[in-house]
Structure 1
Amino acid sequence: MTMNTAVALRHLAFEDLGTLDPLLREWGWQIQYRDVGVDTLEDLFDAPPGLLIVLGGPIGAFDDRLYPYLQSELALISERLLRRQPLLGICLGAQLMARALGGRISAMPEKEIGFAPVQLTRVGLASPLTALEDVPVLHWHGDRIQLPAAVSSLATTTPCPTQAFAVGHHALGLQFHIEADPEKLERWLIGHTLELSGAGIDLEQLRRDAAEHGHSLIRAARRLMTQWRDQWEQKQ
């Protein structure tokens, strides 16, 4: 595995790197996907990629009994945190990172789905998340993170106090989605149809919000990722 390889752990075929894919390729990264539960992760311990991205999915971060391969994924995340290797977790990926750090994950009274901005904490205002100020991001989760005392929240919303966190400059966890491509939203609407129906989500409003905010989110995500990359590259 070369150091300019970015490996994305994928839990659903349509929840991929989305708009982050062309950005990573612009930076010269080679991209590989591993479909969790199908592909092996063992070689990633001995030959770690330059960047690991753990994507979202509908299963719970503590659902080991139902999905035993989560143990391998959790072990890989823990290894990268220990070695201070670049790691990005999105949604479920962030929850697994929090679990590896000793945090807790619990169900929310209601799902948080739709476009809305996050509020940056004092620590968040000194982080790459400043790229997201006043920019609606895509929320799509029913669980929330309780971080261990040593880790600070970078961003919040009213229903979810921890929307983002960091470990040093090398690891970043985002409860929300910066990668979702507004041009491919229908894949999400079809794939999550039962969840959306059960949560009473207005699909037409979600479509309108994606059309209105999607491209500003793409620009903000590029700024966030660039600032974060610059931080951990300077520390290597």
Structure 2
Amino acid sequence: MKNLRVHYFQHIAGEGFGSCYTDLKEMGAKITATEFFALPKDLNFDIEALPDVADVDLLIVMGGAMSVNDEANYPWLKIEKRWIRRYLAMQKPAIGLCLGGQLIANALGAPVTQNREQEMGWSEVYASQQLNGEYFRIPNQLRVMQWHGETFEIPKGAVRLAENLACANQLYQIGKNVLGFQFHPEMTQKVLDLFIENEEQHQVFHGPYVQSLQELKNSQAHEFIQGNQILKQAIAYVLGQ
């Protein structure tokens, strides 16, 4: 798409845009962002402060440590979800990554709740079987980065594309223009370092699907490639390319 206008919603300082920044720049995209983490909590933030929906060709909703349900502590969440609903009502392309996938699902009425297990680290996810029709295709098995304690239910009208034992809903598709990921295909070494530093401070994750921080610090460059490629393909897919 010529003169592609990409807007992303960012919820964590320093997280940036992950692996897709380079890909989008190669496409000649103009990239803008709303940095929700930088908004003062007492700010009277309104939907009109966000971009006009008509001025966005692709929305990417990034991850975050907060819950989509924590509107009391993060009042901008309600505004963000309202904007997402307005945007999706126009059948425009969108990708949600972890919290972003939860936000899109929740904006469309699907509950987001505690998952029975926390997931943190490299893990396998598997393509859901018996899908009839045209859907975004992923390998039967892929190894990706996980970093979540909550999960979404599949929104009404969406189709589940991926799953694993720890978390039933890993990826969903709505129409041909929306993909919501529970895992982090955009993960880069820089972003992983930020996540590790945060976990060292707060020690949020425990359980059988949680990888040790030392193992994560030893992650190799090749481990990021498969997820990054899936995200690149996902962007092309929702753009109809």
TM-score (ref. length: structure 1): 0.86
2:86 match: 79
**Residues 72 and 46 (structure 1 numbering): CA distance in 2 closer, same or farther, change over 3 Å?**
same
Helix, strand or coil for the counterpart of 1:60? coil
Helix, strand or coil for the counterpart of 1:192? helix
Q: In the alignment, is residue 227 of structure 1 matched against residue 237 of structure 2?
A: yes
Contact 2:12 2:37 in 1 (8 A): no
**Residues 93 and 196 (structure 1 numbering): CA distance in 2 closer, same or farther, change over 3 Å?**
same
Contact 2:95 2:235 in 1 (8 A): no
For residue 4 of structure 1, report the CA deviation from its aligned partner. 1.7
Correspondence for 1:204 among 193, 204, 214: 214
Helix, strand or coil for the counterpart of 2:173? strand
- Structure 2 gap ranges (5+): 40-44
Correspondence for 1:92 among 85, 90, 99: 99
Which deviations, in whole Å up to 9, do the C-alpha atoms of 1:142-176 show, x marking residues without a partner? 00111245322111111211111111111111111
**Residues 162 and 225 (structure 1 numbering): CA distance in 2 closer, same or farther, change over 3 Å?**
same
2:158 match: 151
Q: In the alignment, is residue 123 of structure 1 matched against residue 138 of structure 2?
A: no
**Residues 210 and 224 (structure 1 numbering): CA distance in 2 closer, same or farther, change over 3 Å?**
farther
* Separation in 1, partners of 2:133, 2:202: 33
Helix, strand or coil for the counterpart of 2:187? coil
2:65 match: 58
* Separation in 2, partners of 1:59, 1:9: 14
* Separation in 1, partners of 2:229, 2:205: 32
**Residues 3 and 103 (structure 1 numbering): CA distance in 2 closer, same or farther, change over 3 Å?**
farther
Helix, strand or coil for the counterpart of 2:55? coil
Helix, strand or coil for the counterpart of 1:112? strand
Contact 1:115 1:139 in 2 (8 A): yes
Paired amino acid for 2:97: I
1:137 match: 144
2:6 match: 6
For residue 184 of structure 1, report the CA deviation from its aligned partner. 4.5
Contact 1:106 1:144 in 2 (8 A): yes
**Residues 133 and 183 (structure 1 numbering): CA distance in 2 closer, same or farther, change over 3 Å?**
farther
* Separation in 2, partners of 1:3, 1:46: 16
Contact 2:145 2:185 in 1 (8 A): yes
TM-score (ref. length: structure 2): 0.84
For residue 124 of structure 1, report the CA deviation from its aligned partner. 9.0
Q: Higher helix proportion, which one?
A: 1
Q: In the alignment, is residue 163 of structure 1 matched against residue 163 of structure 2?
A: no
Further displaced range: 19-28 or 38-47:
38-47
- Structure 1 gap ranges (5+): none
Correspondence for 1:186 among 193, 196, 204: 193
Further displaced range: 79-88 or 192-201:
192-201
Identity of aligned residues (%): 25
Paired amino acid for 1:88: I
**What count of residue pairs does the alignment treat as equivalent?**
229
- RMSD, aligned α-carbons: 2.5
Further displaced range: 120-129 or 144-153:
120-129
For residue 126 of structure 1, report the CA deviation from its aligned partner. 5.0
**Residues 160 and 69 (structure 1 numbering): CA distance in 2 closer, same or farther, change over 3 Å?**
same
Contact 1:182 1:215 in 2 (8 A): no
Paired amino acid for 1:128: F
* Separation in 2, partners of 1:124, 1:13: 40
